[in-house]
Amino acid sequence: MKSHLDEKFIEAQRERLEALSEQLQNRGAPPGGDNGIPQDQRATGVKDSGEQGASEAGRSRREALGAQSQVTLGAVRRALEKIEEGSYGFSDESDEPIPRARLEAVPQANLTVEEEEDKEQRDRVLGN
């Protein structure tokens, strides 16, 4: 499979993907190991109802971001594998070339835009 992408572009993408991977992996643990609990609440353990609601909302948001980060991290790892295999820039589904502009916007893209849209629609129908 002859790549439609030049080596310089692929190497730049490798660097972007590695940086993104590191960023996503570091996002998983809150700074200082405090589980996201504000300093004043850790010290006293006291929360009023507003603080508790804000804390729950923050926790839910972190969990959702964490789940999305894991999905993105999987795609980043797959894209790095594809660089090693020599198949970066080609769809995992159809082997069709993924346009350079898409890869510039989403370096971890492993499907064409049309295939991604189809997948999202299938996932919505299946409730995923």
Does the residue 2 lie in any domain? no
Kindly state the tokens that stand for 26: 């570091």
Work out how many domains the chain is built from and give that number. 1
Q: Quick one: pLDDT at residue 32?
A: 43
Give a yes or no: residue 35 inside a domain: yes
The domain that holds 53 is classified in CATH as 1.20.120.910
pTM of the shown model: 0.68
46 domain-assigned: yes
Query: What pLDDT is recorded for position 70?
Result: 87
Which range marks the domain in which residue 63 is found? 7-126
HEC-encoded secondary structure of 49-87: HHHHHHHHHHHHHHHHHHHHHHHHHHHHHHHHHHHHHCC
Closest CA to 16 of 109, 86, 99, 97: 109
Q: Does 98 fall in a domain?
A: yes
The confidence score (pLDDT) of residue 122 equals 93
1, part of any domain: no
Q: What interhelical angle do 49-85 and 7-27 show, nearest 10?
A: 150
| pLDDT per residue rounded down to tens, the chain (128 residues) | 788 999 999 999 999 999 999 998 887 544 444 444 444 444 555 555 566 666 665 565 555 456 788 889 999 999 999 999 999 999 999 999 999 999 999 999 999 999 999 999 998 998 86
